[in-house]
Chain A
Amino acid sequence: MQREILQQTRALYPVSLHGVGLSLGSADPLDAVHLRTLSELVGAIEPLFVSEHLAWGSVDGRFMNDLLPLPYTEEALRHTASRVRAVQDALGRELLIENVSSYLEFNASQMTEWEFLAALAAESGCALLLDLNNLYVNSQNHGFDPRHYLSCMPAARVREMHLAGHGVKCIGARQVLIDTHATSVCAAVWELYAAALEHLGPVPTLIEWDADLPSLDVLVAEACKIEQMQRLHRAVAA
């Protein structure tokens, strides 16, 4: 049934297929069944983009079905790049890789998240899906300048952007931002979006709001804001 609904949608609109289950950064072997199923779906839907996350979610065959952050090491970079290449070879097309929200970092990391992401794109030939809410959440949780992260992104490789809302959790005296997709996009992320339009151009942008859904007009208003900002960017750039 879900397939038919997707095919009906595809007949009317371009579709961006967004995966969460490939566990690209996992040390486990790639799940051949999952990849084959994805490949069949891509063949049937012919989407505009196919994307996955810079994350892992399984080890030793046990899946956590979450988008867990990687240690940003040389080993993880080589491993993830080879897996991205394998997926791109299997699908016969470019994959977009998205940055994820994180609430901790690995001591073993040898580079920053933005250095890892840019190096992954260079080594694997993948494109990028930049989630500005995830970028902002991490900048607050880990203490870096989100604009610097943005400026390090290879503009020619960013094909899509995501915006979303987040929640705040207090742990002791600290506040941790949690990616929830359950509320409106905050002002700081909208500001980051304006900066991203400058640096990356008006690429297709999605509002991710898939929990505690608002009334449709609230969601439509957020989408309209994207359109307005992109139109303004084009007018100024012209």
Chain B
Amino acid sequence: MPSLHELQRRFAAALFDGTDASAAADICARGIDPAAALGIYRRQLHETFRRALALAFPVIERLVGAGFFIKLAREFQAAHPSRCGDLQRIGVPVAAFLRDRFQAGPYAYLADVAALEWAYEESMAAPAAAAFDARELAGIDCAHYAQLRFALHPACRLASSAYPVLQIWHANQPCSPATEVIDLASGATRVVLLRPGERVRFHRLGEAEFALVSSLASNSSLGVALDAALQADAGFDLVPVLRRLVVLGVFTGATLPLDARGAPFSGLAPTAPHI
């Protein structure tokens, strides 16, 4: 008698790869052709996967059309089958898959749209957390501000693209008008996603602002992040930007290394604690 593992391996091969012969010999379905019985499960396999993808990437589905979305979902599932019991995780490699699938052609923007949709999904699924209160900085000597490291809110995500992907996202919501012409060359997108309550909010960022938050998100110190922002814009003004980010709820905390003894942070005026 075949082992449990062998029976399951053959069954899965029949569903994924269409190699029915051995699995069909393992099963019976009261007079129904075993291949047809396996076909019920094969359709469920693809349909469940496609539905889960469509739930996470409704804009992609709307952009490419339901028919082509089915084809894309099949290709994606063949290349990236689900690896865990949580179907919500299958979307992780979608943007990279689309980037590879469409390369630099006319549909290259789809990968960035998918990245924005996945950022939205992750923000939505993230736990709630209290936002950072700037008064916590009051006890810190501003000479050490350059070494501050900010913890980003668990629901905070960043997305950027050379294409107007946020405009594309808004134009392809269920309540959006059926047609809106968007010029793909109309400008880049840099956006931070936050979920202050039950809904995800998008906030557009300038190039230097985005460089600052990206750097902080990779656990750089405020000093290093400021350098990144100044590289993008030599006239970057940190204090109002930091104030805006704190008010938006981008951060949940700020920490100073215990051995912080760095040089005074020249980018911050003495009034800086009052952000």
Q: State the A residues within 8 Å of B (CB).
A: 1-4, 20-23, 25-27, 31, 33-34, 37, 56-66, 68, 70-71, 73, 75-76, 79, 103-108, 141-143, 169, 171-172, 174, 176, 178
Hey, which chain B residues are within 8 Å of A106, CB to CB? 7, 26-27
Asked whether any CB of chain A lies closer than 8 Å to the CB of B186, the reply is no
Some 6 contacts from A to B, beta carbons below 8 A apart, are A27-B4, A33-B84, A60-B9, A73-B1, A104-B32, A104-B37
Hey, which chain B residues are within 8 Å of A70, CB to CB? 4
Q: Are B85 and A63 in contact (CB under 8 A)?
A: yes
Q: Are A68 and B36 in contact (CB under 8 A)?
A: no
Q: How far is the CA of A65 from the CA of B83 in the complex (A)?
A: 9
The majority secondary structure among interface residues of chain A is mixed
Q: Are B86 and A34 in contact (CB under 8 A)?
A: yes
Binds A, one of B61-69, B120-128, B219-227, B251-259: B120-128
Q: Are B85 and A104 in contact (CB under 8 A)?
A: no
Q: Are B8 and A104 in contact (CB under 8 A)?
A: no
Hey, which chain A residues are within 8 Å of B2, CB to CB? 108
Binds A, one of B38-46, B208-216, B236-244: B38-46
Q: How far is the CA of A57 from the CA of B9 in the complex (A)?
A: 11
4 extra interface residue pairs, beta carbon distance < 8 Å, beyond A64-B12, A143-B30: A25-B4, A33-B84, A59-B9, A68-B41
- Count B interface residues, CB 8 Å: 46
Chain A residue, CB-CB nearest to B85: A21
Top 10 closest pairs, chain A to chain B, by CB = A21-B85, A27-B5, A63-B82, A104-B37, A59-B8, A104-B29, A104-B27, A59-B12, A103-B40, A62-B81
Chain A residue, CB-CB nearest to B45: A64
Asked whether any CB of chain A lies closer than 8 Å to the CB of B273, the reply is no
Asked whether any CB of chain A lies closer than 8 Å to the CB of B58, the reply is no
Most buried by B among A58, A70, A79: A58
